[in-house]
Amino acid sequence: MTPQNLALSVLSILAMLLASAAWSDFKHHRIPNSIVFSGVVAGILLNSLLAPGLGFANKYAPGAGGFAFALGGLGLGLACLLPFYLLRAMGAGDVKLMAMVGAFLGPADLLGAVVFTFLAGGAMALVVATRSHAWNPLGQNVRVMLLGGLINASMGKAPMIDAPAQSAGKMPYGVAIAAGALAWVLWRMFV
């Protein structure tokens, strides 16, 4: 099996895990730990077992650089989205899902996946606001969150985001994570 075929096999595992998580988040607004933790184990094992002998880290295989590489991606995935969880702007399942992506892709490619995820999330937020006719609540919520965070920060407190008075719509961010991570992988492979 060539490194390119092996890379596609490994990335298809990631794609299946992301699709399962996105579907669950879309249908039930929850990302099961069973998907995330099995994905973390798979990402670490695949990186640890396949990378050293195959020269796996190349244009066709973002990621795959060994055990430390996978753990670095996992930790960075947690670190990138943990502040949003602490601010109560994102669920714990979303943070864990991004950590799973990091276990597959490693630190450098995870950063690209995070940027693409934020772009996908922004596009999704616009769609949700448009479909639910919630532009006014959305604008008010953004203003309240920014001002409240700035006021708390200026007083030396943690910039906590309180629940908005009126929801602009619930968005399954696992879908954005799946779309952004897979878009990044395709970008890396084909551009």
Taking only the tens of pLDDT, the chain with its 191 residues reads 666 777 778 889 999 999 999 999 999 999 999 999 999 999 999 888 876 543 334 444 554 578 888 999 999 999 999 998 987 889 999 999 999 999 999 898 999 999 999 999 989 988 887 887 766 776 776 677 677 667 777 777 765 655 555 554 578 999 999 999 999 998 988 88
What pLDDT does 20 receive? 98
What pLDDT does 138 receive? 66
> What's the Cα-to-Cα distance from 145 to each of 33, 58, 142, 161, rounded to whole Å?
29, 42, 5, 6
What pLDDT does 38 receive? 97
Q: Cβ(81)–Cβ(63) under 8 Å?
A: no
What pLDDT does 56 receive? 37
Q: Cβ(80)–Cβ(110) under 8 Å?
A: yes
CB atoms within 10 A of CB 144: 14
What pLDDT does 102 receive? 95
What pLDDT does 53 receive? 41
Q: Rounded to whole angstroms, how far apart are CA atoms 112 and 187?
A: 10
Radius of gyration for the alpha carbons in the chain, expressed in angstroms and rounded: 18
Q: Rounded to whole angstroms, how far apart are CA atoms 74 and 79?
A: 9
Name the strand (E) or helix (H) holding 137.
helix 135-154
What pLDDT does 60 receive? 46
What pLDDT does 44 receive? 92
Domain boundaries, the chain: 3-113+172-190
Q: Rounded to whole angstroms, how far apart are CA atoms 95 and 58?
A: 27
